[in-house]
Amino acid sequence: MRKIMVDTDIGSDVDDAMVLTALPTFTDLKVLGITCVYGDVELRGKIALSYTGGRYPVFKGESLPLYGSEPWHSGIEGFQLEGLNSFAAADGAIEFLLSEVNEHPGEIEILAIGPLTNIATAIKRDPSWSSKVKALYVMGGDFARDFAEHNFKCDSLAAQIVFGADMRIWVMPLNVTRQVSIEIGDFDFLGDSALGKEIRQWATYRNVDFNNPHDLIALLMALEPDLFDFSGLGQVTVSEGGKCSHAELERGRHKIVSDLDELAVRERVLQVLRK
């Protein structure tokens, strides 16, 4: 059974909530815990617990970036969720990341679907930690446009630290996830569930009639890689402002997704949310 931890900035874009909703459908996966990052991590922890129902431990991590502007919030975080004040995430996300990986070196994979501050902070505290992570799967970057994607832009120093560490990293970039646009009506099967309401709320906030499930596609990259095409191994480089590039190298440790099977990924997204 694969062991995984999820590092998330759940609460703004609804795609993080899609990931937590989908996790139980993968029965060969042991989720060790959820760590929250960026901005109001107390609220993010409550939202994560609301979606998981206490199935996994949830920890509050770093609220401020190592480098960058004040954290951004949409202002609609948690509006569609009832009883949030009955939940309280634990402190100590960094300690949790460090202890679990150090106790089980080479066994634990991490899905990072927010700014990389928690991961970078763990590396800063214990530089040997990164080499003990089995694999890191990152939602972030844009390798097709001269553009700083949100997760890298929010803490570009953290991204630089992570991609400069001794770690096997797979990256799902924004320029690939944008290929999968699902009409809001296709999520009607979710009804008035929390996820269904948050999907509609996010579409209204952005004034669109579709959803790009970026983070859920990153989860599929980690668990069902046959749906995707990958670059060769190489090195990801991140600039101070969050723009990035990838160069293939013989001894590289980073792969980026270069393309996907759009129809198959779209169907798989809807399938894992139906269960």
This prediction's pTM: 0.97
Work out how many domains the chain is built from and give that number.
1
> Each residue's pLDDT tens digit in the chain (275 positions)?
999 999 999 999 999 999 999 999 999 999 999 999 999 999 999 999 999 998 999 999 999 999 977 898 899 999 999 999 999 999 999 999 999 999 999 999 999 999 999 999 999 999 999 999 999 999 999 999 999 999 999 999 999 999 999 999 999 999 999 999 999 999 999 999 999 999 999 999 999 999 999 999 999 999 999 999 999 999 999 999 999 999 999 999 999 999 999 999 999 999 999 97
Report the first-to-last Cα separation within the chain, whole angstroms. Answer: 20
List 90's β-bridge partners, or say none.
Answer: 59
- Where would I find the beta strands (DSSP E) of the chain? 2-8, 29-36, 58-60, 108-112, 135-139, 169-172, 182-183, 210-211, 228-230, 234-238, 244-248, 254-260
Tokens of 20: 């937590």
Predicted local confidence at residue 40, as pLDDT? 98
Predicted local confidence at residue 70, as pLDDT? 87
Range of the domain at 171: 2-274
Tokens of 41: 């991590």
What CATH number is attached to the domain comprising 173? 3.90.245.10
| CA 219/CA 147 separation, integer angstroms | 23
